[in-house]
C-alpha cells in the first residue's frame, strides 16, 4: 500500500483565506481608501485627540488592503489612489485655524509633517501592486506555453481548416474551346496547374 503524504497548511494561511477577497475597480479602490481614511481620522480625532502616530499606523494597512483588493486590470491605480486617500483623511486631524485659508494651511502643514507615513503607505501599495502584476504576467506566460506545447489551439486550427476547405471548393476551369474533337459539349475539366 502506498501512503499519501498530505502537506499541512499553516493556520495563518487558513485564517487569511477566510478574509473577504473583493475585486474593486480603480475608482472603487480609491473611494474605499478615501472613505476608510476619513472615517479612521474622525475616530482618531474623537478617541486619540488627533494623534498623528495612530493615523499613520492605520494608513499602512489601508494602503495594503487597497493594493490587494484592486482588480488586476487596475493595479496601476493603487499607488495613485493611496496618497489621495491620505490627503482626504488627514483633513479632520489637520487642526487648522478658523476660516478656509487657515484650514488649507493646516492641511498643507499636516501633509508636510506626515510625509513619512505618506511615502511608507505609497511604497507598500506600490510593492504589493508590482508583485501582483509580476505574478499575473508569469501565470499568463505559463498558460501561453502550455497552449503551445499541446499543438496549435483549436482557435488557431479552425481558420486553417476553413482556408483549405475554401481553396478546395473553388470552381475548376473548363477548357476554353473544349477538348480536341469534342466540340465543347463534352468538355473535360482540367485541374489548374500550380506554378
pLDDT in tens, 102-121: 778 877 877 888 888 889 99
Closest CA to 191 of 167, 178, 164, 173: 173
- The predicted structure's pLDDT at residue 178: 47
> DSSP of 108-173, one letter per residue?
HHHHHHTHHHHHHHHHHHHHHHHHHHHHHHHHHHHHHHHHHHTSS-HHHHHHHHHHHHHHHTSPPP
- The predicted structure's pLDDT at residue 164: 56
Answering whether pTM is above 0.75, one says: no
- The predicted structure's pLDDT at residue 31: 92
- The predicted structure's pLDDT at residue 179: 47
pLDDT band, residue 36 (cuts 50/70/90) = very high
Beta-carbon neighbour count of residue 59 at 10 Å?
27
Residues 6 or more apart from 88 whose CB is under 8 A from it? 34, 37, 38
Whole-angstrom distance, CA of residue 20 vs CA of residue 66: 13
Instruction: Give the C-alpha distances (Å, rounded to integers) separating 165 from 153, 160, 173, 176.
Output: 19, 9, 18, 26
Instruction: Inform me whether the pLDDT recorded for 130 exceeds 90.
Output: yes
Instruction: Inform me whether the pLDDT recorded for 34 exceeds 70.
Output: yes
Percent of the chain topping pLDDT 90: 23
Whole-angstrom distance, CA of residue 139 vs CA of residue 132: 11
- The predicted structure's pLDDT at residue 61: 92
Whole-angstrom distance, CA of residue 88 vs CA of residue 86: 5
> Which triple of cell numbers denotes residue 72?
488586476
Amino acid at each position: 500500500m502506498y501512503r499519501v503524504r498530505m502537506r499541512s497548511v499553516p493556520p495563518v494561511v487558513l485564517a487569511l483565506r477566510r478574509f473577504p477577497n473583493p475585486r474593486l475597480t480603480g475608482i472603487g479602490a480609491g473611494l474605499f481608501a478615501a472613505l476608510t481614511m476619513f472615517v479612521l481620522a474622525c475616530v482618531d480625532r474623537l478617541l486619540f485627540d488627533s494623534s498623528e502616530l495612530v493615523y499613520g499606523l492605520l494608513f499602512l494597512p489601508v494602503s495594503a488592503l487597497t493594493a490587494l483588493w484592486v482588480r488586476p486590470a487596475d493595479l496601476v491605480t493603487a499607488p495613485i489612489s493611496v496618497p489621495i486617500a491620505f490627503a482626504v483623511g488627514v483633513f479632520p486631524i489637520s487642526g487648522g485655524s478658523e476660516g478656509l485659508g487657515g484650514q488649507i494651511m493646516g492641511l498643507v502643514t499636516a501633509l508636510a509633517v506626515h510625509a513619512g507615513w505618506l511615502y511608507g503607505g505609497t511604497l507598500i501599495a506600490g510593492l504589493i501592486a508590482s508583485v501582483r502584476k509580476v505574478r499575473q504576467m508569469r501565470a499568463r506566460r505559463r498558460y501561453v506555453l502550455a497552449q503551445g506545447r499541446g499543438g496549435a489551439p483549436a482557435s488557431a486550427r479552425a481558420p486553417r481548416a476553413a482556408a483549405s476547405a475554401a481553396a478546395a471548393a473553388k470552381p475548376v476551369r473548363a477548357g476554353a474551346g473544349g477538348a480536341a474533337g469534342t466540340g465543347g459539349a463534352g468538355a473535360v475539366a482540367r485541374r489548374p496547374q500550380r506554378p
